[in-house]
Structure 1
Amino acid sequence: MTADTIIAADIRINARWLIPVEPLGVVLENQAVLILGNRLEAIVPQAEADTHFRARETIDLPHHVIVPGLINMHGHAAMSLFRGMADDLPLMTWLNNHIWPAEGAFVSERFIADGTQLAMAEMLRTGTTCFSDMYFFPEVAAQMARDTGMRAQVCFPLMEMPTPWGSGPDEYLAKGRDLIDQWRDDPYIRIAIGPHAPYTVNDSTFRRAVAIQHETGAALQVHLHETASEVSEAESQSGQRPIARMENLGVLGRNTQCVHMTALNDQDLAMVRGSGAHVVHCPESNLKLASGFCPVQKLRDAGTNVTIGTDGAASNNDLDLFGEMSTAAMLAKAVAGDAAALSAHDALAMATINGARALGRENELGSLVAGKQADLVAVDLSDPFLQPVYDPASHLVYSNHGRQVSHSWIAGVPQVQEGRLTRIDVPDLMLRVREWHDRIVAAKMN
């Protein structure tokens, strides 16, 4: 670049701090982010931007830290409409006696549309720009995300029993295969295969899912080792731990995302590491349902890519990924017995670049590097309860909550500006949410 070179940009964002995530552990000060179209054109000191760049729009954020858009690697978006409906119960009681009956009574295309939009509003408002969803009517969730301009991995559900979406594995696999073709090469939406869990999917169905995975390149996400009782019951019934069964069936691999992963022994850890599978840690849901503790530091020490997810709002009960990072970091320290385990920068990486790696999109998403997609969020650190600021990364993980997010962009398109959602009609959404609340309450009273 010569002294008189002028480069055009669409948006210039001046920020007090910037955490690029790559390289890990770096905090930059007084940087300018230049966006051209849907990509990051450059990240340079503000003085350099003054000299070499001209932008159509300039946004000054003098008390903010900019980070990559967060990636929520596991959830059931439309279950936001069940938030707080059945709390303080063990996992199987919660599922069998409350959630599955409610799903049978209420889940429909309209339920998925409204519940997914409610979840997206919360996620966008708290810094998430890409999410993974595993729920019924995935075609509706995918379209809702695409219409909003939010990135999503949408996992079509797969289990042996009938559901509101279909009669069984044959129908689920046929519909899912069509969805993979329909959304192939879309820059926002990826369709993945979502076998629910080893205890709801038989060997034959897993093999068919793996065959589709190999044929299409789609990712596969599965709940695995969610509780100690799941593991012990599998051992008593088949003589195999669920992870060993998944390995024997060819489920584990570099394009597989294993959700929850509590109750792991050394053999389990070795199998996961050897397969190259990714782990999705959902600390708050696991704590609330007393499901167990994922040994995050052991997995990381073994070289496994560990990401983070909120799970659904019916078992969390929020979708704030900043809060999830805080819980993950503190829980990892307690489980490892090491206060240095899972630093603030490591937790931020779990919610950004590690998620991008699990999606196979690390060259596009997950860090603030020139040439990548312009998915980023700005967090306001000016509030008195965030003062003084010695280390913005520490504040993001240990002091902040997602409502301090003031701005976000996905592919350079503003999604949150001055704390307001730009592409979701919140008053209209709240009317629809209230209708669902009244219907669900009326049904419980009858």
Structure 2
Amino acid sequence: MPSHAPPGTPLDVELLIEARWVLPMSEGLPTLDDHAVAIDAGRLLGPWPIEEARRRVRARRVLALGHHALLPGLVNAHNHAGMSLMRGFADDLPLMTWLNEHIWPAEAAHVNPRFVADGTRLAIAEMLRSGTTTFADMYLAPEAVAEVVAQAGIRTQLCTPLIDFPTPWAADFGTGLERTRALVERYRDHPLIELAFGPHAPYTVGDDSLRRLLEARERLDLPVQMHVHETADEVEQGLAKHGKRPLQRLFEAGLLGERFQAVHVTQVDDTDLAMLRETGTQVIHCPQSNLKLASGFCPVERLRRAGVNVALGTDGAASNNDLDMIDELRSAALLAKGVSGDAAALPAIEALAMATRDGAHALGLGDRIGQLRDGFEADLIAVDLQAVNTLPVHHPASAIVYAMNSRQVSHSWVAGRPRLVDGILCDSDVEALTRMAMEQQRAMAATSQSGEAQ
């Protein structure tokens, strides 16, 4: 879409947003004071200095945000949205105990398409309220998730759950691949939904399944997202069973590359680092979940210095326990400094890049979202920095990462459609969500008590 009209001929646009600061998050472009962007037909125009913007466009509506920062909508690159209904269900446990003795039995007892749809609705409301406009989801009943996403108007990479044992979604790995193909056909042209393969982890996917995954990836041309090197125990088990580290096994299977999204990656030796760098594999960092499950520390600064693209995700609410990317930003920035022993590691603006531009790149959407650039899709948020906890604002990126809380997200748009206005969710019945969550909690509690009684 052109953004430059002949002198004296302003463009007609739907909305002009004037802000105290604009953070475009484009490589090398600084924070801009007193700038504006326009939205028309779901796309961005600008940014320009406010006075120039008023000459360039004739807006049907003007939104003046005199003490706000505008930035791209946040990209939550890894989530299990339906698990929001398991928030706080099994806390303070190591990963494999948490999975084997609590989460997987609870899923067997409770998870069905309605449960997943309800949990996803709750998750989307939380994410939109806290500045996320795109998320990658890896969970059961993806058909139900797709319907909720389409109604909610949030951008999504839907990673279909693939695992070697039966699940409520598919009887086996091959069935999951076929159901993925059907979803691709159904949503191929949807403007907000992208499909990806979501094999669970190397320890739940055998070599034959990896071969079938590679064939299906070549046929359907989809990215792959997978939990990889989440814990030291996972690596040790892989060595014991296969005689090689899980990442090496994935490399030999031909899966690593720019369209492979490795989630967690807390265990990285020199060989791992070389494989990640040379293949261009994406890494998705989930700091709070890794901390809570004592899974380990992703060496973010070491990866970034080697040229590996690192994105940011919350993981699911069952292990985080929130989906607040503003909170995740702060954890990522602080943890990078502590792990590397370098106070200059992952500065605020680079942490924001992880959650915007780099997250979009990791999901294969970097040419459409993640930056405030002319012609990009209008996925953006406004944050109000005039609050006692963020004043004075010497550097907006610093205020957002180190001082702001997500309640200061005032507006959000996805493809130009407002999703949050003055802190109020659009098209979302919060009271109904509250009632639903309480009903699901009571049902899970009753089942747990019944099981304990037996």
Q: Secondary structure at the match of 1:331?
A: helix
1:262 equivalent in structure 2: 266
TM-score of the aligned structures, taking structure 2 as reference length: 0.97
Residue 36 in structure 1 maps to residue 36 in structure 2? no
Q: By how many angstroms is 1:47 displaced?
A: 0.7
1:326 matched to which residue of 2?
330
Q: Secondary structure at the match of 1:12?
A: strand
Whichever residue aligns with residue 311 of structure 2, its letter is: T
Q: Is 2:185 the counterpart of 1:193? A: no
Aligned with 1:411 (options 404, 415, 419): 415
Q: Could you say which residue in structure 2 is the equivalent of 1:85?
A: 89
Return the letter of the residue paired with 1:145. Answer: V
One-letter code aligned to 2:191: P
Q: Which residue of 1 aligns with 2:157?
A: 153
Aligned to 1:164: 168
Q: Deviations over 1:63-118 (max 9, x none)?
A: 11010001000010010000011110000010011100100010011001100000
1:257 is displaced (CA, Å) by 0.1
Question: What does residue 113 of structure 2 align with?
Answer: 109
Deviation at 1:373, TM superposition (A): 0.3
Corresponding residue of 1:379: 383
Q: 1:368 aligns with which of 367, 372, 386?
A: 372
Structure 1 unmatched ranges of 5 or more: none
- Report the Cα distance in structure 1 between the residues aligned to 2:7 and 2:188, rounded to whole angstroms: 44
Query: How far, CA to CA, are the matches of 2:364 and 2:99 in structure 1?
Result: 31
Is the contact made by 1:107 and 1:164 (CA closer than 8 Å) also made in structure 2?
Answer: yes
**Identity, % of aligned pairs?**
50
- In structure 2, the partner of 1:425 is 429
Find the aligned partners of 1:79 and 1:59 in 2 and give their Cα distance: 36
Which of residues 374, 389, 402 in structure 2 aligns to 1:398? 402
CA distance in 2, matches of 1:191, 1:51: 41
Q: CA deviation at 1:178?
A: 1.1
Deviations 1:265-295 (A, max 9, x none): 0000001111111000000000000000101
Q: What is the rounded CA distance, in whole Å, between the counterparts of 2:170 and 2:36 in structure 1? A: 50
Residues 266, 432 of structure 1: alpha-carbon distance in 2 compared, 3 angstrom cutoff: same
The match for 2:245 is: 241
User: Which residue of structure 1 lines up, in the alignment, with residue 301 of structure 2?
Assistant: 297
Give the whole-Å Cα distance in 1 for the aligned partners of 2:240 and 2:36. 59
Residue 25 (structure 1) shift? 6.0
In structure 1, what is the Cα distance between the partners aligned to 2:407 and 2:219?
A: 42
Counterpart Cα distance in 2 of 1:25 and 1:237: 48
Alpha-carbon distance between aligned partners in 2 of 1:293 and 1:245, rounded to the nearest angstrom: 22
Relative to structure 2, which stretch is displaced further, 20-29 or 385-394? 20-29
The 1:163/1:221 distance shift into structure 2, 3 A limit, reads same
Per-residue deviation, residues 129-181 of structure 1 (Å, max 9, x unmatched) = 00000000111111211111110000000111111112111211110111122
Equivalent of 1:272, from 269, 276, 282? 276
Residue type at the aligned position of 1:203: D
Which string of whole-angstrom CA distances, capped at 9 and with x for unpartnered residues, describes residues 325-379 of structure 1? 1111111111111111111111111111111111221111000001000000000
Question: Structure 1 residues 287, 3: closer, same or farther in 2, change over 3 A?
Answer: same
- Which residue number in structure 2 is paired with residue 436 of structure 1? 440
Matches of 1:165 and 1:21, distance apart in 2:
38
AA aligned to 1:92 is M
Please give the alpha-carbon distance, in whole angstroms, between the structure 1 residues aligned to 2:138 and 2:97: 20
2:54 is the counterpart of 1:50:
yes
Q: Deviations over 1:420-439 (max 9, x none)?
A: 10021111121111110110
1:345 matched to 2:349: yes
- The letter of the residue matching 1:178 is A
Moved more, 169-178 or 13-22: 169-178
Distance of 1:197 and 1:357 partners within structure 2: 22
Which residue of 247, 252, 257 corresponds with 1:253?
257
**Is the 1:276–1:304 contact (alpha carbons within 8 Å) kept by the matching residues of 2?**
yes
Deviations 1:290-326 (A, max 9, x none): 0001011111111111000000000000001111111
SS in 2 for 1:199: helix
Change in 2 beyond 3 A, CA 1:25/1:227: farther
Over residues 41-64 of structure 1, what are the superposed CA-to-partner deviations in whole Å (9 max), with x where a residue is unaligned? 222111112223111111111111
- Aligned residue pairs, count: 446
